Chains A and B, each alone.
Chain A
Amino acid sequence: MEGERLFRFPKPQWLNSANTRTAGVYLAGGLFSIALFILIDAASYSKSPLNGSNFHITFVDWIPAIFSALGMLVINSIDKTRLSGDGFSYSGDGVAWKARVVLFMGFAAMAGGLAGGVCVLVLKYIVAEASWPTAWMGVANVVTNGLVMLSSVILWVSQNMEDDYTYNLAL
């Protein structure tokens, strides 16, 4: 493993410990919760008497978050060992190919969710010239999708960390 290093700096040793992996998974769950509750905050703000404007959260505002969450579900439910199709024995070319297609669809859904969040912010709130406390409903959409993406990245990294860890154990 040492000989195959590509970068100048080695990976720090604490990245491979089991505690870091556990903390990463907890952190991902927390970030996903923050994302969901930012969106719920925007929706309940839209319904509350504080919202004096004509802007309201409709189903359109929820669509990007739904796509982001679906993408996260797809990405993180794929078995990572199926992805490296260079092997010969267990993962035949069919399985690796399918895994890559499904993974691509997951990433596309997530990126589409983020792009949709920005789209809703621009088209529904900025173009209609919403002032600040109203524009929060649009900003919350972008923040939600960004946090879902960040949570998914952390979950992915900590799952890959797990593979390295078990690999070291097996050697």
Chain B
Amino acid sequence: MAGVKTIIVLSFILAIGFILVILSSALYHNYLTLLVVATYVLAPVPNWICSKAQNNDDFMDSGSSSVVELGRFLTGFFVVMGIALPVVLAHTEQIRIEAMVMSIVGGLLIYSTIISFTMFFREQEEF
């Protein structure tokens, strides 16, 4: 039962990520870093929508449609936005440097959890 183990590990990583982000906002009484969570939750959405939208019949163009590339572009945009947003907030002293580091690490943990979760699901669907 490797599936149960991976699910447990992934949920632990997700919880650690959320703890880091919540600590980074609650320790300094400054809740701007919660925006990172919203960014990383939004990040896989364009990829998902565009991969559904691309689903037409011509099999020659499979995987290379420009709608899919738009989705990938937006996903890359959101992922880098999750790192750039705390850096900008820390540079203009809206949040502290420690809060910036914690929210970046927590956000990356959350996003990697989401990505690996979808990867595991896709692998199971193929069987």
Task: Report whether A27 and B76 are in contact in the complex, using a CB–CB cutoff of 8 Å.
Answer: yes
Kindly list 11 other residue pairs between chains A and B, CB separation below 8 angstroms, not including A29-B76, A33-B77: A25-B72, A25-B76, A28-B76, A30-B80, A31-B80, A33-B79, A34-B80, A37-B81, A50-B92, A50-B93, A162-B69
Give chain A residues whose Cβ lies under 8 Å from the Cβ of B85: 37
Which residues on B are within 8 Å of A, measured CB to CB? 60-61, 63-64, 66, 69, 72-81, 84-85, 87-88, 91-94
Residues from chain B with a CB closer than 8 A to the CB of A157 are none
Query: What separation, in Å, do the CA atoms of A22 and B60 have in the docked complex?
Result: 17
Q: Which residues of B contact A25 (CB under 8 A)?
A: 69, 72-73, 76
Q: Interface size of A by Cβ–Cβ distance < 8 Å?
A: 29
- Residues of B within 8 Å of A27, CB to CB, are 76
Bound-state Cα–Cα, A169 to B69, Å = 19
**Alpha-carbon distance A125/B96, docked complex (angstroms):** 29
CA distance A50 to B64 in the complex (A): 47
Q: Does A84 contact B (CB under 8 A)?
A: no
Q: Closest approach, in angstroms, between the C-beta of B50 and any C-beta of chain A?
A: 11
Given contacts A25-B69, A50-B93, A165-B64, contact A37 B88 (CB under 8 A): yes
The answer on a CB contact under 8 Å between B92 and A44 is yes
Q: State whether A32 touches B60 (Cβ < 8 A).
A: no
B63 cross-chain contacts in A, Cβ below 8 A: 18
Does B60 lie within 8 Å of A29, measured CB to CB? no
Kindly provide the distance from the CB of A120 to the nearest chain B CB, expressed in whole angstroms. 20
**Chain B contacts for A44, CB-based, 8 A:** 88, 92, 94
Which residues between 1 and 43 of chain A lie within 8 Å of chain B, taking CB atoms?
Answer: 18, 21-22, 25-34, 37, 40-41
Bound CA–CA A147/B36 (angstroms): 23
Does A109 touch B at the CB level, under 8 Å?
no
**B93 surroundings in chain A (CB, below 8 A):** 48-50
